[in-house]
Amino acid sequence: MVKRVIALLTDFGVEEHYNGVMKGVILKINRNALILDLVASAKSFSIMDAAFQLWASYKYFPYETIFLVVVDPGVGTDRQPLVIKTKNYFFVGPDNGVLYPAAYEDGIESVVKITSEKVILKNRNGTFDGRDVFAPAAAYLSKGMPIEALGQYTEIKEKYVFPEPIINKYSIKATVLHVDKFGDVVLNLKKEHINDTSKKFIIKDKNVQIKATFAECVGLCMVFGSSGFYELALNQGSASDLLKIKTGDEIEIEIV
């Protein structure tokens, strides 16, 4: 019997009924579904934040996991509702770029626009495709329904990629991809972007050094994080609050 995990990533939060209703729809179709919350409180409306969290997470899940992603500021528009089959996984969600970095990295094999009347709930509301379109699609996939039975083959329109930093001899212009609950600030900087980790940096008049762990930070520091990007951190404090920066912000890093 086919038994695929469904991992749910939304910006609905835990105070509202939306995540619970989506789980209810899934269980009504597949009572034996195995559902877990990957992220329940992604930054509201932020494609960048959700795309980053999905990309940073998907590869640690069992093969054939279905990632059900509803961060969908364009709900009700003509953006496509998608199911993407990759080499190892399935991704279900809106065609707004949120699925693309993870799906592309794993290797996209086929893409379907969800149109099947059997799948989409009757009396689709237009404001809650997480319930009416994406949750039932994930549920039928979890029962082993082939991707082509969910709709018609299509192509991805929104191919979002993480921004590249702008680097010169004396400065780096970086983008904040994500801020976690501890206030650690994930930048779009990989190891290849910083050749000399012994150098010092200045951000908003504050000295920053690269350290190996959060525990080594004295004041503001930069740590190569678990996601494969450098993070600004403050030992047992919030680097985001200290620097007054948030997801999507660009910051100037002076190299000294």
Q: CA dist 51 to 3, 56, 178, Å?
A: 25, 8, 10
Q: Does residue 149 or residue 199 have the better pLDDT?
A: 149
Label the pairing between strands 185-187 and 200-203: unpaired
- Give the tens place of pLDDT for each residue, 89-101: 999 999 999 999 9
Highest mean pLDDT among 27-31, 196-200, 216-220: 27-31
Strand, helix or coil for residue 75: coil
Nearest Cα neighbor of 102 from 144, 61, 146 is 61
Task: Express each pLDDT in 115-161 by its tens digit.
Answer: 999 999 999 999 999 999 999 999 999 999 999 999 999 999 999 99
Helical (H) or strand (E) element with 51: helix 47-57
174 vs 166: CA distance, rounded Å: 7
- What's the pLDDT at 57? 98
Predicted confidence (pLDDT) at residue 1 exceeds the cutoff of 70: no
Closest to 180 (Cα-Cα) out of 138, 226, 143? 226
